[in-house]
Amino acid sequence: DAEITQSPRHKITETGRQVTLACHQTWNHNNMFWYRQDLGHGLRLIHYSYGVQDTNKGEVSDGYSVSRSNTEDLPLTLESAASSQTSVYFCASSGGTYYEQYFGPGTRLTVT
Amino acid sequence: QQQVKQSPQSLIVQKGGISIINCAYENTAFDYFPWYQQFPGKGPALLIAIRPDVSEKKEGRFTISFNKSAKQFSLHIMDSQPGDSATYFCAASIRRSDKIIFGKGTRLHILP
């Protein structure tokens, strides 16, 4: 069955370190998205991609970057982790039905 | 203008009762309105969606009511069950962008 996976599921890191969160989907979807979820803020879009070599900034992109070298993967990098980036991060993908996104299980990141 | 406003932030309903979550939007370019359901420790998943030219859509115990003139829509969960306890997000999407704008979410708890 097609799926979307994220790794690691839990991560604790120190302020200032570079961190990369992995996202892998097997639906062959062109669109991929990264969100962060915080209490009181819902789901906020960090970065998104419409295909290989395409990346775009979302509403909360400062301090984050992505790259898309193939259809299946969209890794999210925190250049220099800050305590404000402690959050749960979700990756999602979408294909033919533009209003339906398939979400991964999430990565809980703690920056100490 | 890109916001989707959702209320209440949290909701407690007795088993068998009706749960009602309300949302409002401003951008008339939105062309589809999905609702997502998220269980603890999981990613959100599409529950039900409606086009703005339809006033009501029903799937089992879940109904979306849509008021285009008021730019408001709501989710009704009839005969609410403890298994419905989850966070619900209303959302809006624009076909040409393939992006989804999420409300801040409603944490629903159904009392057994």
- What are the tens digits of pLDDT across the range A70-106? 999 999 999 999 999 999 999 999 987 888 999 999 9
The percentage of chain A sitting over the pLDDT mark of 90, rounded to a whole number, equals 90
Question: What's the CA gap between B52 and B28, in Å, rounded?
Answer: 10
Q: Residue B108, SS3?
A: strand
A112 Cα to chain B: minimum distance (Å): 22
Mean pLDDT (chain B) is: 94
Sign of CA dihedral A61, A65, A71, A73: negative
B100 Cα to chain A: minimum distance (Å): 7
Question: What's the CA gap between B37 and B27, in Å, rounded?
Answer: 23
Residue in A closest to B2 by C-alpha: A59
Contact state of B49 with A104 under an 8 Å Cβ cutoff: no
Question: What's the CA gap between A24 and A75, in Å, rounded?
Answer: 8
Pair B103, B4: CB distance under 8 Å = yes
A102 Cα to chain B: minimum distance (Å): 7
For B10, counting Cβ atoms within 10 Å of its Cβ (0-12 exposed, 13-18 middle, 19+ buried), the class is exposed
Contact state of A101 with B100 under an 8 Å Cβ cutoff: yes
Question: Which helix H or strand E contains A33, and what residues bound it?
Answer: strand A31-38
| Amino acid present at A70 | N
- How does pLDDT run along chain B (112 residues), one tens digit per residue? 569 999 999 999 999 999 999 999 999 889 999 999 999 999 999 999 999 899 999 999 999 999 999 999 999 999 999 999 999 999 999 877 888 999 999 999 999 9
The percentage of chain A sitting over the pLDDT mark of 70, rounded to a whole number, equals 100
Contact state of A99 with B93 under an 8 Å Cβ cutoff: yes
Count of CB pairs separated by less than 8 Å, A with B: 50
